Chains A and B, each alone.
Chain A
């Protein structure tokens, strides 16, 4: 009694295939700082995101009680005390932000996942894309290059479509040549963009159908920032899809929460 309760800072780092994210958490719930660098594993991204997340903060790495790394590059983060899969971390982060979430759609750089949560926020089932990058962020990258529309503008362009073009969803390479042939047929780029988003949506929703769809449906991962892709997913599912704020950061947030749990109830 009488001792002041010590503040616990924890760090979550999410090193994806195309971006690096970090979140510092105070006492398991308050976000002190967060950072995103748009390059991922194997690049300068992981080091830079660590620098950036501490920028302007009074605390440093030494003040961090526990660090959890997640994402594709989680095993290369030497600062980490533990690695946890990005599926568990996204589920944790989303449930923290949105406790009514029961179905999560997470589309990142090269993976798409659908996760079903039970009422306690635990993962009941999850599935990932197979075989091909179709339906992932990488697919949108390729299409943005072919269409000469910067990635951040794709979402806006989508809403100017008059009729959605058809782009298949089986294979990135085939879809790329389909888009090229649509362009050469004079189909408008707006309509093609909507078709590309529809293609991403049908792939992502096939995962949702497999895990079973219970509301609230929440979307995270880099592609969730693309309003056009979200619109296509909503139309495909016929349901409202909630996009969490900072959708890229839910994995790092979940990692930081796991880190906090590890400090207060060590295994």
Chain B
């Protein structure tokens, strides 16, 4: 039986070397990989085809140069990075790339794909709450078209049975991820923030049942581990993603533990399961219309504040730290609403700015240190 350290090293190996993870998968299965642009793709369809869905979340500390010819300087940092990687040919070994377009940046990015792999673009309906049954039908149709295009490109047929099975595999993985996050919150000194991130990030580059099996093993070990004394502050983090690792180190330097996250790269993917439905494409569609708490999924009731405030209560957290992706307009637009909701509920909060390209962290350090002094 592996130790916590050994298991985490395996997750980290995957999270840090997605290319190797993909090559290994290809070797083992004889099948290929399909790129998944952020965010909220019904990955189960790719899984049901037997292909490896690969998350495309940019790279930490990547110098941006060529991408500047294609993107305005004020495009978000993660898309600058993805564009640079496209131009470097990093995504050329993918068999297809799936783009969702829930924000303006993604919509424009989808129109200037520079990789060699064929691209499939689909739309999430945004009338999710006010016209839910129509939105369900629309989303189902989009997913059906996506599935058809994928079948044509990969030359495979995706059966209803395979899709149902993939949904079950993903739901099991979601449950294991939720449990992992909760176990880490119960013993915050045990797993470093970088390790927590690596374990969750690895799910973007691993066949999900494999990720689940390893994660369940890890969860068992964490459950039976001794409590590590922890005297720092417990925080809930929100945003698109929380990278690079140096930022997580600064969180730890000032004694912050992440007891729950609301990140588009992490918990937002496993907070809710895909519901049961005789028609698996409709089940996936319903998952989108039921989904809550992301600026990219329109909901006039703005439930994100409540989700975060409830997480603060549930996990006995001291505060919320909003990790604002630089130039991410949907999240920036929602931020003033969040601030009002925090103020009304008396929830302490801080905003830091996330820039995947940056190598200087002094501002983040000052903000986090001050916040630790204030809390």
In angstroms, Cα B353 to Cα A232, docked, is 28
Question: A84 and B351: CB pair below 8 A?
Answer: no
A127 at the interface (CB under 8 A from B): yes
Q: Which B residue's beta carbon lies closest to that of A71?
A: B366
Q: Which A residue's beta carbon lies closest to that of B350?
A: A126
A:176-207 near B, CB below 8 Å: none
Question: B374 and A128: CB pair below 8 A?
Answer: no
B:323-375 near A, CB below 8 Å: 326-327, 339, 351, 353, 362-363, 366-367, 369-370, 373-374
How far is the CB of A141 from the nearest CB of chain B, in Å?
Answer: 18
Question: A123 and B353: CB pair below 8 A?
Answer: no
User: Are A88 and B373 also in contact (CB < 8 A) when A72-B362, A128-B363, A128-B366 are?
Assistant: yes
A33 at the interface (CB under 8 A from B): no
Question: A123 and B374: CB pair below 8 A?
Answer: yes
A:86-144 near B, CB below 8 Å: 86-88, 111, 122-123, 126-128, 130-131
Please, which residues of chain A bring their CB within 8 A of the CB of B366?
Answer: 72, 85-87, 111, 128
Please, which residues of chain B bring their CB within 8 A of the CB of A83?
Answer: 369
Number of interface residues, chain B, beta carbon within 8 A: 13
In angstroms, Cα B362 to Cα A111, docked, is 11
Question: B370 and A88: CB pair below 8 A?
Answer: yes
In angstroms, Cα B327 to Cα A127, docked, is 17
How far is the CB of B323 from the nearest CB of chain A, in Å?
Answer: 13
Please, which residues of chain A bring their CB within 8 A of the CB of B374?
Answer: 88, 122-123, 126
Number of interface residues, chain A, beta carbon within 8 A: 16
Please, which residues of chain B bring their CB within 8 A of the CB of A127?
Answer: 351
How far is the CB of B327 from the nearest CB of chain A, in Å?
Answer: 8
Question: B370 and A126: CB pair below 8 A?
Answer: yes
Please, which residues of chain B bring their CB within 8 A of the CB of A126?
Answer: 370, 374
User: Are A85 and B353 also in contact (CB < 8 A) when A122-B374, A123-B374, A131-B326 are?
Assistant: no
In angstroms, Cα B327 to Cα A86, docked, is 26
Interface centre among A72, A83, A122, A128 (most CB of B within 10 A): A128
User: Are A128 and B367 also in contact (CB < 8 A) when A122-B374, A123-B374 are?
Assistant: yes
In angstroms, Cα B367 to Cα A123, docked, is 13
User: Are A85 and B362 also in contact (CB < 8 A) when A128-B367, A130-B353 are?
Assistant: no
In angstroms, Cα B355 to Cα A130, docked, is 11
Please, which residues of chain A bring their CB within 8 A of the CB of B339?
Answer: 210
Q: Which B residue's beta carbon lies closest to that of A210?
A: B339
In angstroms, Cα B369 to Cα A122, docked, is 15
Q: Which B residue's beta carbon lies closest to that of A212?
A: B343
User: Are A84 and B353 also in contact (CB < 8 A) when A111-B363, A128-B366, A131-B326 are?
Assistant: no
Please, which residues of chain A bring their CB within 8 A of the CB of B363?
Answer: 111, 128
User: Are A85 and B373 also in contact (CB < 8 A) when A128-B366, A131-B326 are?
Assistant: yes
Please, which residues of chain A bring their CB within 8 A of the CB of B353?
Answer: 130-131
Please, which residues of chain A bring their CB within 8 A of the CB of B370?
Answer: 85, 87-88, 123, 126
How far is the CB of A254 from the nearest CB of chain B, in Å?
Answer: 11
Q: Which A residue's beta carbon lies closest to that of B349?
A: A125
Q: Which A residue's beta carbon lies closest to that of B367?
A: A128
Q: Which B residue's beta carbon lies closest to that of A127?
A: B351
Question: B351 and A85: CB pair below 8 A?
Answer: no
Please, which residues of chain B bring their CB within 8 A of the CB of A210?
Answer: 339
**0/1 string, B38-54, CB within 8 A of A gives 1:** 00000000000000000
In angstroms, Cα B370 to Cα A128, docked, is 11
Please, which residues of chain A bring their CB within 8 A of the CB of B369?
Answer: 83-85
Please, which residues of chain B bring their CB within 8 A of the CB of A84?
Answer: 369, 373
In angstroms, Cα B111 to Cα A112, docked, is 38
Interface centre among B327, B370, B373 (most CB of A within 10 A): B370
Q: Which A residue's beta carbon lies closest to that of B327?
A: A131
In angstroms, Cα B369 to Cα A134, docked, is 24
Please, which residues of chain B bring their CB within 8 A of the CB of A88?
Answer: 370, 373-374
Q: Which A residue's beta carbon lies closest to that of B73?
A: A171
In angstroms, Cα B369 to Cα A131, docked, is 19
In angstroms, Cα B366 to Cα A10, docked, is 23
A:151-174 near B, CB below 8 Å: none
A:37-94 near B, CB below 8 Å: 72, 83-88
How far is the CB of A126 from the nearest CB of chain B, in Å?
Answer: 6
7 closest Cβ pairs, A-B complex: A85-B370, A87-B370, A85-B369, A88-B373, A123-B374, A85-B366, A130-B353
27 contacts between A and B (CB under 8 A): A72-B362, A72-B366, A83-B369, A84-B369, A85-B366, A86-B366, A87-B366, A87-B370, A88-B370, A88-B373, A88-B374, A111-B363, A111-B366, A122-B374, A123-B370, A123-B373, A123-B374, A126-B370, A126-B374, A127-B351, A128-B363, A128-B366, A130-B326, A130-B353, A131-B326, A131-B353, A210-B339
- Interface residues, chain A, CB within 8 Å of chain B? 72, 83-88, 111, 122-123, 126-128, 130-131, 210
Besides A72-B366, A83-B369, 18 more A-B contacts (Cβ < 8 Å) are A72-B362, A84-B373, A85-B366, A85-B369, A86-B366, A88-B370, A111-B366, A123-B370, A123-B373, A126-B370, A126-B374, A127-B351, A128-B363, A128-B366, A128-B367, A130-B353, A131-B326, A210-B339
